Amino acid sequence: MGALGLMAMDVPEEYKGAGLDYLAYSIAVEEISRGCASTGVIMSVNNSLYLGPILKFGSEEQKHQWIAPFTSGDKIGCFALSEPGNMNVNIPGLMAENNFPL
Residue range 12-54, pLDDT digits in tens: 999 999 999 999 999 999 999 999 999 999 999 999 999 999 9
Calpha distance 53→78 (Å, rounded):
12
User: Taking residues 1-7, what's their average pLDDT?
Assistant: 85
Q: What is the predicted pLDDT for the residue at 95?
A: 60
pLDDT tens readout for residues 53-98: 999 999 999 998 999 888 888 888 887 776 666 665 555 666 667 6
Residues 12, 55, 50, 70, CA torsion sign: positive
Nearest residue to 80 (alpha-carbon basis) of 35, 36, 49: 49
Measured between alpha carbons, how far is 22 from 49 in angstroms, rounded to an integer?
14
The matching CATH number, chosen from 1.10.1660.10, 1.20.120.1690, 1.10.540.10, 2.60.200.20, for 1-101 is 1.10.540.10
Cα–Cα separations (whole angstroms), residue 31 to 36, 44, 45, 58? 9, 12, 16, 30
Q: For all residues of the chain together, what is the average pLDDT?
A: 85
Would you state the pLDDT for residue 1?
84
Task: Report the predicted TM-score, pTM, of the whole model to 2 decimal places.
Answer: 0.70
Domain ranges (residues) in the chain? 1-101
